[in-house]
């Protein structure tokens, strides 16, 4: 599903009340579906549907609520011919989404749940294995690495071995350094500056920097991070550098702007 000549744009569709930058936007599945269809018009290649916020401190969501939030949207978008990714760590949600037409399982826990491995192996879907230190509730308390790039690469290598030994095919795996997931600002910057070392592992790499709080801190201060409305340019700068370092997929909220930036960077980076 990855075109050879350009970077893939994944549009974020959070059907949650509490996501960090866009929670509570939709009062019905129809509104979410319309927004996703607009993202596709704006240039999204795949829509990542999420029913549970992973922001630090977010409240856990019950299985029934996550299914009710996500599955009608996944079904409708798949029926409309949209490529859908399901952003979940629950195997029941992944299973239901795959049965409803989702093509990608985006699991911020990199298939920690052994049943998730079975579900993905059996479906033969694409799987995004993201790196996270700890778990969302506490991950930002005091993230610690010996060498963040080497540690993340090693742990992603372990995640690929876990997935592949459970039957997920190598060609179906994407990797993601997990920007903001158990990482300080310095950790995020080191990972982005050295993304080529993750790319060198030989899998397509997805990067999600869009609107993240480390960008707010970079252009504001630790005490007063720039608000979401002032994080577009930082997001575009960071996604462009990720492209230059070999990222294949960009996970973004502001699809039209991100797409125009990505096309420009592709034209420069992918000349033959």
Residues serving a catalytic function are 212, 251
Residue nearest to ligand HH2 (CB): 208
Residue 176 interacts with ligand HH2 (CB under 6 A): yes or no? yes
**144-147: Cβ within 8 A, 24+ apart:** 145/187
Parallel, antiparallel, or unpaired: how do β-strands 126-130 and 173-176 relate? parallel
CB of 78 to ligand HH2, least distance (A): 19
Q: Count of residues binding ligand HH2 (CB under 6 A)?
A: 20
CB of 263 closer than 8 Å to CB of 47: no
Choose between 78 and 126: whose C-beta lies nearer to ligand HH2: 126
In whole angstroms, how close is the CB of 21 to ligand HH2 at the nearest point? 5
Report helix, strand or coil for 270. Answer: coil
Give dist(CA 215, CA 196) in Å, integer.
20
d(CA 103, CA 90): 16
Q: Cβ 272 to ligand HH2, closest distance in Å?
A: 30
Does position 54 bind ligand HH2 by CB under 6 A?
A: yes
Who contacts 210 (Cβ-Cβ below 8 Å, separation ≥6)? 12, 21, 235, 239, 250, 251, 252, 253, 254, 258
Q: Is 12 in the site for ligand HH2 (CB under 6 A)?
A: yes
Q: Which of 8, 9, 15, 20 binds ligand HH2 (CB under 6 A)?
A: 20
> CA nearest 130: which of 183, 93, 92, 189?
183
The dihedrals phi and psi of 103, each to the nearest 5 degrees, come to -110, -20
Helix (H, G, I), strand (E, B) or coil at 80: coil
Tell me the two tokens of residue 155: 């742990």
254 touching ligand HH2, by CB under 6 A: no
Among residues 7, 8, 16, 239, the one that binds ligand HH2 under rule CB under 6 A? 16
The reply on whether position 55 binds ligand HH2 by CB under 6 A is: yes
Q: Across-strand partners of 106? A: 87, 128
Minimum CB separation of residue 191 from ligand HH2 in Å reads 11
Among 7, 8, 19, 83, binds ligand HH2 (CB under 6 A): 19
Asked whether position 179 contacts ligand HH2 by CB under 6 A, the answer is: yes
List binders of ligand HH2 among 101-160 (CB under 6 A): 106, 108, 128, 130
CA distance 21 to 23: 6
Q: Which of residues 211-240 bind ligand HH2 (CB under 6 A)?
A: none
| Site residues, ligand HH2 (CB under 6 A) | 12, 14, 16, 19-21, 50, 53-55, 87, 106, 108, 128, 130, 176, 179, 206, 208, 251
């Amino acid at each position: 599903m990855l075109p050879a000549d350009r970077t893939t744009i994944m549009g974020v569709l959070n059907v949650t009340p509490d996501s960090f930058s866009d929670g509570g936007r939709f009062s019905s599945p129809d509104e979410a579906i319309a927004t996703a269809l607009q993202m596709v018009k704006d240039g999204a290649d795949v829509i990542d549907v999420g029913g549970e916020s992973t922001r630090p401190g977010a409240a856990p969501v019950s299985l029934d609520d996550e299914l009710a939030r996500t599955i009608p949207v996944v079904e409708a978008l798949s029926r409309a011919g949209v490529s859908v990714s399901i952003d979940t760590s629950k195997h029941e949600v992944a299973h239901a989404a795959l049965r409803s037409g989702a093509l990608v399982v985006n699991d911020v826990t990199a298939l920690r749940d052994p049943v998730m491995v079975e579900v993905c192996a059996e479906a033969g879907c694409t799987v995004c294995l993201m790196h996270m230190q700890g778990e969302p509730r506490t991950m930002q308390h005091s993230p610690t690495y010996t060498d963040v790039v080497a540690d993340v690469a090693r742990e992603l290598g372990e995640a690929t071995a876990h997935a592949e030994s459970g039957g997920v095919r190598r060609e179906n795996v994407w990797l993601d350094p997990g920007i903001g997931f158990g990482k300080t600002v310095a950790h995020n910057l080191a990972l982005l500056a050295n993304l080529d070392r993750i790319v060198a592992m030989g899998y397509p790499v997805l990067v999600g920097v869009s609107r993240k709080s480390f960008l707010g801190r970079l252009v504001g201060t630790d005490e007063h991070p720039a608000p979401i409305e002032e994080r577009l340019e930082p997001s575009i700068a960071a996604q462009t550098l990720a492209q230059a370092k070999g990222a294949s997929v960009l996970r973004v909220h502001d699809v039209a702007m991100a797409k125009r930036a990505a096309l420009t960077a592709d034209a420069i980076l992918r000349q033959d």
